[in-house]
Structure 1
Amino acid sequence: MPPTATPDPAQGAPAPPAPRHRLLPSTARTRIIGWVLLLVLVALGAVTLVTWRLLIQVTDERMDEALRFEVDEFAELTEAGTSPRTGLPFRTVDEVIGEAIAYNLARPNEKFLGYVDGGYRTQSRQEPGTPEVLAGDPAFAALVAGVDTPRSGRYDSPTAGEVRYLAIPVALQGDPARGVIVAAYLADAERGAADNAARLMLGVGGVTVLGAAAAAWLVAGRILRPLRDVAATARTITDTDLSGRIPDPGEADELGDLVRTVNAMLDRVESGVAAQRRFVDDAGHELRTPITIVRGHLEVLDPADPGDVRATVALVDDELGRMNRMVSDLLLLARSEQPSFLHVERVDVEALTAEIVEKVERLGDRRWVLETAAGVDAPLDPQRITQAVVALADNACRHTGPGDRIGLGSQLAGGRLRFWVSDSGPGVAAEDRARIFERFSRGATAGRRSDGAGLGLSIVRAIAVAHGGTVLLDSVPGRGATFTLEIPTTDERGGGAS
């Protein structure tokens, strides 16, 4: 192996490679235009090539057909044996060749030549501007002047390029001379029209491509504008300001859908960050209160007074218990967003409802009433549903007095399973209905302070959402409230209540 060069510490670290410079900025816009132009140019080249080859093929077939036609004309003329001009019989081969060539007017790029005994004799009349290229060509004369059978072929003229020819021998009884009539086409010149058409296609196509490139540049700019708006909006968003949104183009296409999707994502992110900030602020405030209470009582504690010590210990134990419940509720809310939060199984709803009523009867001296129970089996997590209904019953118990009525029940209606708790308490004010389900929120009727931390209804809503359902509130201030836990009766496997 060759030795590996070791950088000299005295010279410092090796310099990074110089950045590569591009002729054009590498943006999505230029790449799109570049690829589009490349595809258009390839397509233009392919179409031009195919068209040119077809034109060349048609031209070659036309020249071959014209040569065959001339053969037939020469055969008719020589078989008759008389001059079509004078009506007299031919006397010499030279006369036959001269009459046959004079009888035919050559087309552009077409020539008729006559040879007698290996020497050039005459050629057809030419349209003005047709070059004289074969009459004085000894190589061509050597090729065709001495044939004794009809021969066709191609000849590369030094001045005219490819020549397609057909040589026909001519003989006449009574004349020992041997003649040859040659019909020839200047193939390269005849194909000039096809070449000009191909060049015209390339020229017009090139101009069209340039115009299309300019138009595509403008169109691509308009199409990619939402992407530039996405980047510009992303640069304005910081950890303290999430209010920026991308302007909606209002079009029902992929980019419009992208803009609306990103804006919806930003809405969710902003809501989540705002909820997180509120949660941190509220949790800090709620936890700071018992800590302040405990610290204040410990600061004034008289260790020499057994009664003061017992009272302070009891208060500290109560506050620590409240903090423990708060932390447990917070952990429960955090776990509610995880897939393993629920353990779904098919449950007899009627038996579950009866068990919940038995449990909540120990919450307080109230008139507990089982209003109805759904006689169905449904997929749900019985422990979480029990936890949610017990939390609703505990909330109702807090807002009612001894002997007040609290009703519970379950019912299947419209494909939705409902568990409800109704009480005869003071109800929920209209301005509190939306926020009582938020964390650390309490209604106006909750008083200055309660044993809870304002997380009970948040936990109920989290359990409902985990089941794919929701929590409904029906309340009239002064006449009680009904909280309804509503969940679908179908699970993820498509099962339903039976």
Structure 2
Amino acid sequence: MTHGEGSRRSRGEPVRDHDQAPSEEEATIASEPADGGRSRRGAGRATAARTRIVGWVLLLALGSLGVGTLVTWLLLLDEADRRIETALDSRTAEFARVTGTGIDPTTGRPFGSTDEILRWAITAARPDETLLGYLDGRLRRESRPAGPRTALREDPAFTALVSSVRRPTRGTHHSADGEVRWSALPVGPAGDPACGVVVIGRFTDQEYGFANGAARSTAVVGVAAALLTAAGAWLVTGRVLRPVRDVATTARAITGTDLSHRVPQQAGARDEIGELAGTVNAMLDRVQTGTEAQLRFVDDAGHELRTPITIVRGHLGVLDPNDPEDVSGTVALVDDELRRMERLVSEMLALTRARQPSLLRPEDVDVAELTRDLFGKLTGLADRDWLLQSVAPVRARIDPDRITQAVVALADNATRFTGPGDRIALGSEVVDGRLRIWVSDTGPGVAPEDRPRVFRRFARGADAPRSDGAGLGLSVVEAIATTHGGRVLLESTPGCGATFTLDLPRDVR
């Protein structure tokens, strides 16, 4: 004899095997399989996502390359400008020092004229600079130009700018051969009335050539590297997005009647993508379990309702309206079956509501006071030896109405397996920070083979007594405990009674 309350009694019709497939009337959920067009659209969306990712990677790579190349180019140009200025300062200081002493460094004798100074300066020209010597406003001497550069000596504007300076002067001039940075220094020995000027010029395009070449080389190499990166990103993205495609493929393969498909998981995958596949599979497991439980519930409920309907139809079919006794007996039977259906529907609604967390109304409750109130209500259920074992002097955030419903169901279940004079005890306590409320009895207990099914809907043990209920009481109790974030514990020794315990958190979130 067990504490399961379910009843699968038939009152006029045999009960169909639970393993039998539901009929068309009982299983109406259907879904058409995904067609080829949907698959192609899904593949197209996956490719589009892959293209967008690679496109963004390429755009970021090219953007980073552009910024890096621009910054490098500007730094090299700045370095070239500093090098030009340093060279002009150095050469101007060198010429000023020599002409200041008036001694020709090559011969060790004093310069005889301004023209000799110009001749010495021109012979000291370096390959990367242009030297011009002006005497009385006209070009007198010129160093060998670096390349086919002749614009400076033929540029009247430049000649007018530098040929008659009276003090050291610096500037920039835009000639036909490009931009030139120049430094002009007036020279001449003492006593020579001629006015001489030495001009040191450096074309910036020569100095900027290295910077421009480095920028071009960096851009070419960077673009090639970005394209290789895009190709690698295309391959890597395909591998990364494969689990996502598997999720989409699995979702399309699932129908209302086939929930067996799962997302393939790579062995050892512990990253976010692997976690996604595992989470989706776990969700599908829950959906499949819930759907199967729902179908079983509908099947069981259908059987429970079909039995009284069959009984009513059978008796109405043979009713003799001219026999008052037959009419009276049939009406009584129909009324009894209708009440039984009403109880079944009420219990199914109670189970449905117990599983909805949104209907939970937790509040701060004095557990000791609730326990005493419950004991007062339970003593009127049946003629039993009722005992209040203990009360927990704590406060807990629970739904008192739901807890009352669960405890009354447990106590009512205990009365079905006990007789007058048998003991039924109620108590509450706090164990390891969790609230426990229990109902125990001295009935026959629960057989070990019946424990796995004692909380199943519409199920009962082989030796369970006849009950007016539909076998949903303990399922409602379990649903209430689960909604509170807890569970129902069962302790029983055959022949020595059983104890059902609501194990609840003290603070329901």
TM-score by length of 2: 0.84
Structure 1 match to 2:213 = 196
Displacement of 1:465: 2.2
Structure 2 match to 1:225 = 242
| Matching residue within 402, 405, 410 for 2:423 | 405
Pair 1:106 & 2:123 matched: no
**Match runs of 1:234-245 below 5 Å:** 234-245=251-262
2:96/2:185 contact within 8 Å kept = no
Structure 1: runs of 5+ lacking an equivalent: 1-23, 493-498
Structure 1 match to 2:94 = 73
Pair 1:310 & 2:328 matched: yes
Displacement of 1:339: 4.7
Structure 1 match to 2:56 = 35
Displacement of 1:286: 0.6
My pick for the range that moved more, 130-139 or 311-320, is 130-139
- The verdict on how the C-alpha distance between 1:134 and 1:98 changes in structure 2, with shifts beyond 3 A counting, is farther
Separation (CA, whole Å) in 2 of partners of 1:297 and 1:434: 38
Equivalent pairs counted in the alignment come to 464
1:428/1:445 contact within 8 Å kept = no
**Higher RCO (C-alpha under 8 Å, 6+ residues apart):** 2
CA-to-partner distance for each residue in 1:346-397, whole Å, 9 max, x for gaps? 4444454344344434444444333334344444344333322222222222
Displacement of 1:211: 1.4
CA-to-partner distance for each residue in 1:248-307, whole Å, 9 max, x for gaps? 344333323322222222222212211211111111111001111111122222333333
**Match runs of 1:81-480 below 5 Å:** 81-102=102-123, 104-108=124-128, 110-124=129-143, 130-134=147-151, 136-139=153-156, 140-158=158-176, 160-249=177-266, 250-339=268-357, 341-446=359-464, 450-480=467-497
SS in structure 2 opposite 1:445? coil
Separation (CA, whole Å) in 1 of partners of 2:131 and 2:475: 106
- The verdict on how the C-alpha distance between 1:77 and 1:358 changes in structure 2, with shifts beyond 3 A counting, is closer
Q: Which amino acid aligns with 1:329?
A: E
Separation (CA, whole Å) in 2 of partners of 1:359 and 1:148: 120
1:408/1:419 contact within 8 Å kept = yes
Separation (CA, whole Å) in 2 of partners of 1:422 and 1:64: 100
SS in structure 1 opposite 2:291? helix
Separation (CA, whole Å) in 2 of partners of 1:180 and 1:373: 114
SS in structure 2 opposite 1:441? coil
Separation (CA, whole Å) in 1 of partners of 2:106 and 2:275: 85
CA-to-partner distance for each residue in 1:134-154, whole Å, 9 max, x for gaps? 575243444433333333222
Separation (CA, whole Å) in 2 of partners of 1:29 and 1:466: 42
My pick for the range that moved more, 322-331 or 377-386, is 377-386
Structure 2 match to 1:17 = none
CA-to-partner distance for each residue in 1:442-492, whole Å, 9 max, x for gaps? 222225x53211111111112222333211111233433221122222344
The two structures, once aligned, show a CA RMSD in angstroms of: 2.6
CA-to-partner distance for each residue in 1:173-195, whole Å, 9 max, x for gaps? 44333222111101112210111
Separation (CA, whole Å) in 1 of partners of 2:364 and 2:66: 69
SS in structure 1 opposite 2:236? helix
Structure 2 match to 1:6 = none
- The verdict on how the C-alpha distance between 1:310 and 1:373 changes in structure 2, with shifts beyond 3 A counting, is farther
